[in-house]
Amino acid sequence: MASINLIEAFQDFKEAENIDRPTMMKVVEDVFKTLLRKKYGADDNFDVIVNAEKGDLEIVRRRMIVEDGAVEDPLAEIAYSEARKIEPDFEVGEELYQEVEILDFGRRAILAAKQTLASRISDLKKNVLVKKYGDRVGDIISAEVYQVWKKEILLLDEDGNELILPKSEQIPQDYFKKGESIRAVVKKVELKNNSPVIILSRTSPSFLAKLLEIEVPEIFDGLIVIKKIVREPGERAKVAVESYDDRIDPVGACVGMKGSRIHGIVRELKNENIDVINWTNNQQLLIQRALTPAKITSMELDNEKHHVNVFLKPDQVSLAIGRKGVNIKLAQELTGLTIDVFRDNEGEVEEYDIDLDEFSDEIETWIIDELKRIGCDTARSVLDLTVDELERRTDLERETIEDVKRVVKEEFEKE
């Protein structure tokens, strides 16, 4: 039998394990029936038989033997005298099966068929990949780092599919080397130039949600529900949880004995601080919990303007604001309210204060540390002391102190 070697094309099918055999057969059949239609005008009386293991195929033509001169449809019928040339024992009324030599199609047609087949296989692979990862959006997967670039990392899954972890979806403290296995959540599947691109994320709240689901059986079983997660990747996260079973403490279950459950997640997230709080529909109570670890003295809530003024003891202000303002930012995201923080000094409310660390872009870290050493951890606490007093109590030069006071004063004037 003269046949076309299609081993390479069939090998592509084998590599794409999720492409089932019936689909494979149908694609090959479609490609060669197109050839038949071009050559004969129709494909009704042809059978395409595929041997996927050997990587070849054969085409069989079926025609009914009729009396000489009675042929009405040359594609479906053959004259008795012509049939006897093929096999002398044939009789009128029998069906003649004849193999079509594939080389008869011509080299150009055969080459076109192979190209079409390769293209169809490629499209099938793309569709399989899109479906596979489209169904897994929001799930955690493990993949191996294959290439590290400035703006993204290329990873390979267990089937050799390429995945992308953009720099924007990496935790700032992340550092990966080629060959390293990392975990991330499938964020989305995009099509670029008609090719699927699977985007992973380690900064998405869903990544933390899935890590909690893995570590906390009660979440996996549905006894504890994660109501909301807000994150500043690598810095802090706040997780509001609720239990559907009164016997289960949702916060205790998530943290585990001596933090056993949460510690593994913290390590995975590069020491990101995770505050787990009880969800409540009581807004005032939710605000108090959202500002953890700070303790609130009192608050003025304006639901119409989605705004709340929160009053705290002076030593709690910095805790409420947090490093780089992260704590109050996350509390606002969690509650959906704009939160303004005020110092509560024996009933007298001062203006909004600012953590001294927020001036790190303008004031050198060692200067901030020297001011903190004498208890000046906020902008207003610096302004409350005179230049002479600051010069006496610190090792800073007068000119430096004047510069610091100028910087923080300008910030309040902006406000």
pLDDT in tens, 83-96: 888 888 888 888 88
Domain hosting residue 88, numbered range: 7-132
How far apart are the C-alpha atoms of 176 and 178, rounded to whole Å? Answer: 7
Predicted pLDDT at 393: 79
Is 2 a domain residue? no
Is 345 a domain residue? no
Is 402 a domain residue? no
Count up the domains in the chain and report the number: 2
Predicted pLDDT at 20: 61
Predicted pLDDT at 399: 92
Does 192 lie in the same domain as 127? no
How far apart are the C-alpha atoms of 295 and 319, rounded to whole Å? Answer: 9
Predicted pLDDT at 409: 86
Pick out the chain residues at pLDDT < 70.
1-23, 51-56, 345-352, 414-415
Does 148 lie in the same domain as 124? no
Is 380 a domain residue? no
Does 173 lie in the same domain as 191? yes
Angle at 205 between CA 202 and CA 211, to 5 degrees: 70
Does 74 lie in the same domain as 189? no
Predicted pLDDT at 378: 83
At 236-276, the pLDDT tens digits run 999 999 998 888 999 999 998 888 899 999 999 999 999 99
Does 161 lie in the same domain as 124? no
Does 70 lie in the same domain as 187? no
Largest CA distance in the chain: 124
The alpha-helical segments, DSSP class H, found in 230-376 are 250-255, 260-268, 283-290, 314-321, 326-335, 365-373
Burial of 305: CB neighbours in 10 Å, binned 0-12, 13-18, 19+: exposed
> Do 211 and 184 form a contact (C-beta atoms < 8 A)?
no
Predicted pLDDT at 3: 44
Is 387 a domain residue? no
